[in-house]
Amino acid sequence: MRRPDLSALSVKTRSRLLGTHERTGVLPAAARYLVLIGIGFIFLYPLIYMISNSLQSPADLSDPSVTWIPTAPYWDNFRSAFGALDFANALKNSLLAAVVTALLQTASTSFIAYGLARFPIPLKKLWIVLVIATFFIPVEITSVPRYVLFYRYGFVDTLLPSYLPALFGQGLNAAVFILVFVMFFQSYPAALDEAAALDGAGRFRIYLRIALPMSRSAIILSLLFSSVWYWNETAQSQMYFGNTFPTLMHRLSEFSARYSGMMSESGAASTSPTQAIILAGTMLAILPMLLFYLVCQRQFINSIDQSGITGE
């Protein structure tokens, strides 16, 4: 009498469940998804809460049976928030403050880094240490003196306090970008530069035509992250040009006051915004960045992978 080959079966199921060298088993895969979905939910919870609540009408908000899904999307919240944010104008200011500064920062940090990466500058070690050191100076220390400086030259209430430091490699987290560019410029063969020099190209031309195209990912990294960081920076920019070029973030931080002002002007009974309206305002303020991320998501992530920070 032959016994059924149970052991072979159990080995097979076992390997399917727990996985083998080549394949991930069902159980580890399920555990991975469980943890990722769980933590992902905690991560996104504030956003889900915001989307759900910003679409609820006052009736839904006070109805205890409505928790997540509004009975019908209520767009009035967005209409009021749109006005209180002065959306179109604030968006234009945000773009001026973030994108233009990011362009300047990318141009200057790559230019500076090319000098550090490719030429024998006197005291080079000291300069690199100083570049790194600038990253560790809290913004609070330099903000008042910079304000006084800009005030003296009449730059307060213009965008120059944002542009000028970026143009001279002292912008927000500029040290990070300088170091990334240095690593990129050092990683391609110097023979390329030398060949171009033999062909009669000047040094600036070599930087423009060879070094920069060889470092596309670094440029993308610098442009994307500078834009995002400047977009979300509020404390400094509020001081420098919050009155004349209020960005979306400035408008959001004074949202309740502006909403009340708008309402009392129109003679409404209740002037303070409901939580739904505040959340609709928040949603509108981050919407441009969310759309931007939707389009450039791959570039963001690839640029970190290729940043060279992991050391090649």
CA atoms within 13 A on the CB side of 304: 6
Residue 24 backbone phi and psi in degrees, to 5: -75, 135
Chain residues 15-34 in contact with other proteins, contact rule CB under 8 A: 21, 24, 29, 32-33
Stretch that binds other proteins, among 47-55, 69-77, 95-103, 265-273 (CB under 8 A): 47-55
Is residue 292 at the binding interface for other proteins, with CB under 8 A as the rule? yes
Query: To the nearest whole angstrom, how small is the minimum distance from the Cβ of residue 24 to other proteins?
Result: 7
Q: How far is the CB of 76 from other proteins (least distance, A)?
A: 19
Binding map of other proteins across residues 220-259, x = CB under 8 A, - = no contact: --------x--xxxxx-------------x--xx-x----
Q: Which long-range contacts (CB under 8 A, 24 or more apart) does 189-193 make?
A: 190/118, 193/118
Does 47 interact with other proteins (rule: CB under 8 A)?
A: yes
Find the binding residues for other proteins in span 129-168 (CB under 8 A).
130-131, 134-146, 148-149, 164-165, 167-168
| DSSP string computed for 194-237 | HHHHHTT--HHHHIIIIIHHHTHHHHHHHHHHHHHHHHH--HHH
Enumerate residues 161-220 that contact other proteins by CB under 8 A: 164-165, 167-170, 176, 178, 203, 207
Q: Does 91 engage in binding with other proteins (CB under 8 A)? A: no
Closest CA to 255 of 240, 239, 273: 273
Please report, to the nearest 10 degrees, the dihedral formed by the alpha carbons of residues 258, 259, 265, 270 taken in order: -140
In this chain, which of 7, 13, 243, 297 binds other proteins, going by CB under 8 A? 297
